[in-house]
Amino acid sequence: MNGSGLRVAVVGAGMAGATCARFLADAGLQVRLFEKSRGVGGRLATRRAAWTAADGAARRACFDHGAPGFSAHVPEFVRYVEQAARDGLLARWQPRIAPGSYAPLDEPALWLPTPDMPAWCRALLSGLPLHCGCVVDALRQGPGGWRLESAGSTLGEGFDAVLLALPLPQAAALLRPHRPEWAQRAEALPMLPGWALMGVTEDAQPAPAWDLAWPTSGPLARIVRNDAKPGRERVEGQAHWVVHATADWSRTHLEAPAAEVRAALQSALAVWLGRPLAWQHAAVHRWRHASVPRATHPAAPVAAVTPGRCWWDSASGLGVCGDALGGAGVEGAWCSARALAELVIRHGPGSQAQGRVASLPLAQP
């Protein structure tokens, strides 16, 4: 059954949701997206900050406080990324790794959306109906199709299919009335939290001869000189930092006050650098579902885009995709979304193919 003309709601406008929506729309399906945040991108995130300096001057800065970048291994994703780079949506970053860091798990070269992290998702969603600031808290299915609700009010209705591109712990509540076994599996798949510190310090000393560090001990998992990235602003006399805490530390301090977390991470950075820092601005962000444990995907990075990287019930028109299913990270999110889009297009709602169609071939991008 070809899915052309079907009405599909995609819940979540991060990399998985944006990718899935774009493939579906390009195949002729009518797609609407619903995103709880004010903007798109999910963990491809950039925070804009403004403050008044000690001298009374207005200052501003941007911080990529989610994923610092991503790599590409799967052939389909590599081709997709290279085309996005030719279109001016991505830049290549070869960060200098700080001495004493963990050895990189793969090549240190990364891809970055430009001019900010959500830019790629915005481009993928160009021209598609998008509703931000919408918290979908219930799904109802009736003779007229699927209805999406928020606090008892209808956000949209008459959909042939609903696809959830959310962190699995968030998707579980929506799945439970319709596919309780999926909800149970979603709750069982672990996702790790993460605190992120964003800040600007006075840079009186020469800039360090590195851009990215992976500390081998302590509360810090990753230290990034955000102003060393391609396309990011570098300001004379300033250093722009994004510091990610380890999952264990973040879990222990998950409900700690933001001021306490900020002070602890500032102190940890100073200890790691071996010198005090003069902060002009600092803030923290808590990611409750920051990453997928690599142990969850022993073969990660994934070897291919396969339908088994998503969940699809063609009988009801309900599907799930995301990095937790696709192999972790931006690449995993893309692989999962691509697989789900192919299933919806080729085995749309109402067909007899149900669940994961493992034999489905994939067209080239």
Chain segment 183-227, per-residue pLDDT in tens? 999 888 878 899 999 999 987 666 678 999 999 899 999 999 999
Mean pLDDT of 137-160: 94
Q: Count of CB atoms within 10 A of residue 57's CB? A: 8
- CA-wise closest residue to 31 among 71, 54, 69, 3: 3
Query: pLDDT per residue over 246-297, tens digit each?
Result: 999 999 999 999 999 999 999 999 999 998 999 999 999 999 887 766 544 4
Q: Please report whether residue 356 resides in a domain.
A: no
Domain of 103 in residue numbering reads as 47-117+192-291
Looking at the structure, do residues 56 and 104 belong to the same domain, yes or no?
yes
Does the pLDDT value for residue 307 go beyond 80?
no
Q: Please report whether residue 2 resides in a domain.
A: no
Q: Please report whether residue 1 resides in a domain.
A: no
Pairing of strands 138-142, 130-132: unpaired
Looking at the structure, do residues 96 and 148 belong to the same domain, yes or no?
no
Looking at the structure, do residues 217 and 279 belong to the same domain, yes or no?
yes
> What total number of domains does the chain contain?
2
**Cα dihedral across residues 122, 124, 125, 127: positive or negative:** positive
Whether a cis peptide bond, with omega within 30° of 0, leads into 230 is no
- Phi, psi angles (nearest 5°) of residue 97: -90, 135
Looking at the structure, do residues 180 and 325 belong to the same domain, yes or no?
yes
Looking at the structure, do residues 237 and 269 belong to the same domain, yes or no?
yes
Looking at the structure, do residues 25 and 128 belong to the same domain, yes or no?
yes
Q: Which of 72-76, 232-236, 329-333, 339-343 has the lowest mean pLDDT?
A: 232-236
Looking at the structure, do residues 210 and 282 belong to the same domain, yes or no?
yes
Looking at the structure, do residues 274 and 200 belong to the same domain, yes or no?
yes
Looking at the structure, do residues 97 and 200 belong to the same domain, yes or no?
yes
Looking at the structure, do residues 36 and 154 belong to the same domain, yes or no?
yes
How many whole angstroms separate alpha carbon 120 and alpha carbon 8?
22
Q: Please report whether residue 87 resides in a domain.
A: yes
**pLDDT at res. 56:** 82
Looking at the structure, do residues 128 and 206 belong to the same domain, yes or no?
no
For 173-205, give the DSSP string.
Answer: HHHTTT-HHHHHHHHHS--EEEEEEEEEEE--S
Which CATH number fits the domain that encloses residue 280? 3.90.660.10
Looking at the structure, do residues 101 and 209 belong to the same domain, yes or no?
yes
**pLDDT at res. 302:** 38
Q: Please report whether residue 326 resides in a domain.
A: yes
Q: Please report whether residue 360 resides in a domain.
A: no
**Residue 104's pLDDT band (boundaries 50, 70, 90)?**
low
Domain boundary residue, one of 245, 274, 291: 291
Which CATH number fits the domain that encloses residue 23? 3.50.50.60
Strand partners, 189: none
- Give the chain's mean pLDDT: 87
Q: Please report whether residue 363 resides in a domain.
A: no
Mean pLDDT of 123-135: 96
pLDDT higher at 17 or 203: 17
Q: Is 335 helix (H, G, I), strand (E, B) or coil?
A: helix
Q: Please report whether residue 78 resides in a domain.
A: yes
Q: Count of CB atoms within 10 A of residue 283's CB? A: 15
